[in-house]
């Protein structure tokens, strides 16, 4: 029987609040988990940016990564560490790098989900390069933007194929606006997409391993109020929830994403036909009343208390559970296995049938049963500890540090109070059992 320490590395950018919560709560958990005859303890460390030798021994067992989507040194370190040292990382770094918003739509169309009609158009302008002139003169054909507009119908959306934080997203009402917006789009590679409207709900579903959290999103509200705190049971049926949570988990398991969010709009009747799972592929559920996923290539979504406020403690708990499970069990990054998913769906299946056919595979890939056993056996005190920590001055200070970083000085007190009060709301509504 040996004492073993598993180290969780936090790969961070401008993250302030959640690493504090993660670290402090882990300390308070005071874990010593028996695994195969050993006693496993856990440490958490913020990773620094250094030169590295491909053959250096690993320092981390699990990496919670928020940096690789824009910081290449870390991305390459993570890929090496997965390949050479069996480091587990949320999320699969290869699919984070290569599956953009557009190819994520393609994957889900293939599985028969009701993805809106979507086109890609070549960019309006290009970075100069030696072969560019010849290539474009020879192969880039004039195309009729207006015809694509008519095919999609108005209003429609123009947005970059790789998405990200509402950058260059336009809602377009007619052909002149489509032409003008395209003419202004420069070197961005743009998608044109049917608009899902009218819609009566906008929901984000956060997935963390096999865990999900539904958050109603109010796109028109100021940034700090966009994630609302209403309970999903107030506005969603059990069937709605099954579709939203199932869709999110299937996306995440399919692409190898541990931590991702899926945005869905609920189309509420109306005149237009529309998202039908890809040109009549027969997705089912794509008619007037459908949950339409519009943006779901968001591996490592916003985790800041200033945007997710009320939901922040849930994310911390879920993050800790999944990281600790992965560290304790020596979890390894699984190879992406699209074929197994594709083999389980058949033409003519309804959306619910597809989800039901795919979920067992999802749970196999996430090892959900083993995860739930682990949480039940070793983390039964997690909620009590989290609940306690979020009532402390240290938690308030973590909130304040983030607020200082994003709000002007004269608003710091007001917004610290606001976000901290939402954490207290979460504590009130999620009491510790037996209290
Ligand atoms: N097909 C669509 N139908 C209706 N609204 C859309 C559609 N696509 C985008 N939007 C709106 O534009 C916003 C930004 O688009 P999104 O695809 O989420 O891009 P980003 O990657 O920048 O978050 C969405 O949150 C939604 O409000
Ligand atoms: Mg979005």
CA-to-CA dists, residue 343 to 49, 252, 339, angstroms? 42, 17, 6
Q: Which atom of ligand 1 lies nearest, measured to the CA of 219?
A: 27
Task: Tell me the HSE value of 256 on the side-chain side, using a 13 A CA sphere.
Answer: 18
| Nearest-angstrom CA–CA distance, 115 and 293 | 6
Q: Which of 60, 99, 67 is nearest to 82 (CA)?
A: 60
Pocket around ligand 1: residues whose beta carbon is below 6 Å from it? 116, 157, 159, 163-167, 169, 193-197, 219, 263, 265, 294-295
- In whole angstroms, give the CA distance from residue 61 to residue 89: 9
Q: 409 CA distance to ligand 1 centroid (A)?
A: 32
Ligand 2 centroid to residue 167 C-alpha, Å: 10
CA of 371 to the centre of ligand 1 (A): 33
Residue 285 Cα to ligand 2 middle (Å)? 22
Q: Tell me what pLDDT residue 283 has.
A: 33
Angle at 275 between CA 272 and CA 277, to 5 degrees: 150
Closest CA to 318 of 260, 365, 256, 263: 260
Residues 207 and 13: their CA atoms lie apart, in Å, by 21
Radius of gyration of the chain (CA): 23
Rounded to the nearest angstrom, the distance between the alpha carbon of 323 and the centre of ligand 2 is: 26
Atom of ligand 1 nearest to the CA of 194: 1
Give dist(CA 234, CA 239) in Å, integer.
13
Residue found under tokens 């028109």: 220
pLDDT at 272: 46
Ligand 1 atom 17: residue of nearest CA? 295
Number of C-beta neighbours around residue 328 at 10 A: 23
Q: Give the residue, out of 190, 199, 227, 295, with the most ligand 1 atoms within 8 A of its beta carbon, to mutate for a pocket test.
A: 295
**C-alpha span between 92 and 71 (Å, rounded):** 15
Report how far ligand 1's centroid is from the alpha carbon of 163 (Å).
9
Q: Which ligand is nearest to the CA of 293?
A: 1
* Residue with CA at minimum distance from ligand 1 atom 10: 157
Sequence-distant (≥ 6) Cβ neighbours of residue 234 within 8 angstroms: none
Which domains, and CATH codes, for the chain? Answer: 3-98+317-325 (3.40.50), 117-194 (3.30.1490.20), 199-311 (3.30.470)
- State the Cα–Cα distance between residues 323 and 317, nearest whole angstrom: 10
Starting from the CA of residue 162, give the closest ligand: 1
Best mutation site among 188, 294, 299, 302 for ligand 1, i.e. most ligand atoms within 8 A of its Cβ? 294
Q: Are strands 3-11 and 289-295 parallel, antiparallel or unpaired?
A: unpaired
Residue nearest to atom 14 of ligand 1 (CA): 166
Ligand nearest to the CA of 157: 1
Choice from 159, 172, 193 to test ligand 1 binding pocket (greatest atom count within 8 A of CB): 159
Residue 127, CA distances (Å) to 133, 183, 188 in order? 11, 16, 10
Q: Which two tokens stand for residue 248?
A: 């999110």
List the structure tokens of 326: 């992965």
> One digit per residue, pLDDT tens: the chain, 435 residues?
799 999 999 999 989 999 999 999 999 999 999 998 999 999 999 999 999 999 999 999 999 999 887 889 999 999 999 999 999 999 999 999 999 999 999 999 999 999 999 999 999 999 999 999 999 999 999 999 999 999 999 999 999 999 878 889 999 999 999 999 999 999 999 999 999 999 989 999 999 999 999 998 877 777 777 777 777 878 889 999 999 999 999 999 999 999 999 999 999 875 444 444 433 333 334 456 899 999 999 998 888 999 899 999 999 999 999 999 999 999 999 999 999 999 999 999 999 999 999 999 999 999 999 999 999 999 999 999 999 999 999 999 999 999 999 999 999 999 999 999 999 999 999 999 876
> What does the DSSP 8-state code read for residue 284?
S
DSSP 372-395: HHHHHHH-TTHHHHHHHHTTSHHH
Ligand 2 center to residue 82 CA distance, Å?
Answer: 29
CA of 294 to the centre of ligand 1 (A): 6
Kindly report the protein residue whose alpha carbon is nearest to atom 13 of ligand 1: 166
CB-count exposure of residue 350 (10 Å: 0-12, 13-18, 19+): middle
Q: What CA–CA distance (Å, rounded) separates 113 from 354? A: 8
CA of 127 from ligand 1 middle (Å) equals 27
Which residue out of 109, 152, 169 has the highest number of ligand 1 atoms within 8 Å of its CB and is therefore the one to mutate? 169
Pocket mutation for ligand 1, best pick of 115, 160, 166 (most atoms within 8 Å of C-beta): 166
Residue 287's pLDDT is 57
How far, in Å, is the centroid of ligand 1 from the Cα of 312? 23
Atom of ligand 1 nearest to the CA of 193: 1
33-51: b or e for each residue (b if 16 or more CB lie within 10 Å)? beeeeeebebebeebeeee
């Amino acid at each position: 029987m040996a004492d073993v320490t598993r180290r969780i590395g936090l790969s961070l950018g401008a993250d302030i609040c959640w690493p504090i919560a993660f670290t402090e709560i882990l300390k308070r958990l005071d874990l010593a988990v028996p695994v195969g005859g050993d006693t496993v303890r856990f440490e958490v460390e913020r990773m620094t940016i250094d030169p590295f030798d491909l053959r250096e021994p690993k320092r981390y067992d699990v990496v919670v990564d928020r940096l690789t989507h824009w910081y290449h040194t870390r991305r390459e370190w993570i890929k090496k560490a997965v390949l050479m040292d069996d480091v587990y990382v949320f999320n699969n770094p290869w699919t984070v790098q290569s599956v953009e918003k557009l190819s994520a739509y393609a994957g889900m169309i293939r599985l028969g989900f009701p993805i809106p009609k979507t086109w890609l158009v070549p960019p309006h302008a290009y970075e100069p390069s030696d072969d560019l002139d010849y290539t474009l003169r020879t192969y880039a054909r004039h195309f009729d933007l207006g015809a694509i507009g008519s095919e999609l119908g108005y209003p429609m959306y123009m947005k970059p194929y790789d998405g990200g934080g509402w950058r260059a997203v336009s809602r377009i009402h007619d052909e002149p606006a489509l032409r003008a917006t395209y003419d202004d789009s420069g070197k961005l590679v743009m998608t044109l997409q049917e608009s899902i409207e009218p819609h009566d709900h906008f929901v984000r579903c956060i997935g963390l391993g096999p865990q999900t959290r539904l958050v109603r999103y109010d796109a028109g509200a100021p940034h700090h109020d966009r994630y609302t705190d209403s309970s999903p049971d107030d506005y969603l049926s059990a069937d709605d929830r099954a579709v939203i949570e199932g869709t999110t988990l299937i996306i995440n398991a399919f692409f190898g994403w541990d931590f991702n969010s899926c945005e869905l709009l609920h189309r509420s009747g109306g005149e237009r036909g529309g998202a039908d799972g890809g040109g009549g592929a027969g997705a089912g559920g794509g008619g007037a009343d459908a949950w339409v996923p519009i943006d779901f290539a968001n591996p490592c979504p916003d985790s800041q208390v200033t945007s997710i406020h009320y939901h922040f403690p849930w994310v911390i708990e879920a993050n800790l559970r999944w990281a600790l499970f992965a560290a304790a069990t020596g979890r390894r990054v699984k190879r992406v296995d699209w074929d197994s998913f594709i083999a389980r769906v058949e033409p003519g299946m309804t959306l619910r049938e597809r989800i039901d056919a795919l979920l067992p595979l999802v749970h196999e890939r996430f090892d959900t049963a083993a995860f739930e056993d682990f949480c039940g056996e070793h983390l039964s005190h997690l909620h009590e500890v989290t609940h306690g920590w979020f009532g402390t001055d240290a938690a308030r200070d973590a909130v304040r540090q983030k607020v200082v970083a994003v709000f002007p000085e004269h608003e710091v007190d007001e917004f610290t109070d606001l976000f901290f009060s939402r954490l207290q709301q979460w504590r009130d509504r999620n009491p510790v059992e037996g209290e």
